[in-house]
Structure formats: C-alpha cells, structure tokens
Amino acid sequence: MPIDTQRAVDEAAAPDRGVADLAAVWLALAAIPDPEIPVVSIVDLGIVRAVAREGAGVVVRVTPTYSGCPATELIFGAIRDSLAAIGLPDARVEVQLAPAWTTDWIAADGKRRLREYGIAPPGSAIPGVAAIDVRGISPLRAAGVVVPCPRCGSTRTRLTAQFGSTACKALYRCDECLEPFDYFKPH
C-alpha cells in the first residue's frame, strides 16, 4: 500500500483527537534523513510503511531497504529519538519484511532530490546499446541499459563498479562531463 494511502487509513482509523498526533508523527519521521543518503528522508525512501495507534501508544512499521542494510539500527534509533522529542517516548518501531521494499516506493520528490544531489535515481536507466569505448573495449554495463548522468544529462556513461558508496548503488562515470556518480539500483 503506498505511504499516502496508508497514512489516510491510519488517520481515518484514529479517534479525532489522535489525528493531529499521527500527523505530527509523520512530520517527525519525514524530518529524519537517511543516514547513507542525507538528501532524502526515511519517508521519501518509502521505508516507513505504517504509523498506527496501539492502545495509548504509537507503533511505526519499517521495511528496511534490504535485510543486511547497515543503517537499519541507526534509523530505528533516530525514529525513537525523534518521537521521544515530540512526546512519544514509548513509541515502538517494528520491522515489516513483507512485502519486501522496492525502489518503486521512493517518492517522486525523493527521486528528484537524489538527481539534484548527483545520484541517478532508480528508474532513470533507459534502454540502449552498451557502447564500445575508443579502444574497442566494452565497458562494464548491464546489456542494453544506459544510465543518464544526473549532472549533465549525457547518456555517454559507463558502469565502473557494481557497488558504489553503498551496496544499493552502482558506480558510473560520465564520458561527457567526466564526473563519477552513483546510480541507485532498482530492486
């Protein structure tokens, strides 16, 4: 369920006096930057799956980007700290593994901010033919996929490493502006 739909469901189910509280929780969560990509929030990434009232408390359900993400515990701590700061010291954070997180859950505004930050967002790859460089050597590129440079927009790019600054990104280099950049791999 998309986040906005889940938020609407959560708020509709809450008593009238609780709607403002849940809205405050969502605002607090939206202010928490991803520790590995601080230009986007954990809400922008789509890892916050639900916020719900349970009794007198609040529970936040989070789907990590992948099970081995080294930032997961840091994110959970940031959620607890942020909610304690708005008067919810007993809020619970729960892992929700199903459905598995997908880059389709990244908000459009988050994808825009990734691009502005110099990271090619997932879904920006376009069909194409892997180019042969001037020495006749085929670059390390997924067959038939071209990732446009987020800085200059050129499609003359090449994959230089399957893993970039984090495991969820690949490292590319633009042959036009000569800048390296990460590509947030879709999954």
Q: pTM of the full predicted structure?
A: 0.77
What residue type is 126 in one-letter code?
I
pLDDT for the residue 56: 82
pLDDT for the residue 167: 81
Q: Which domains does the chain have, with CATH numbers?
A: 3-105 (3.30.300.130), 118-184 (no CATH)
Q: Do 57 and 92 touch, CB atoms closer than 8 A? A: yes
Quote the CA–CA distance of 90 and 79 in Å, as a whole number. 11
Provide the pairing of β-strand 169-174 with 157-161: antiparallel
**Preceding peptide of 99 cis, ω within 30°:** yes
pLDDT digits (tens), the chain, 187 positions: 344 434 443 443 444 445 558 999 999 999 999 998 999 999 999 999 999 998 888 999 999 998 788 889 999 999 999 999 999 999 999 999 999 999 999 999 999 999 999 999 998 888 764 444 444 444 444 456 799 999 999 999 999 998 888 888 899 999 999 999 999 988 7
pLDDT for the residue 20: 58
pLDDT for the residue 163: 86
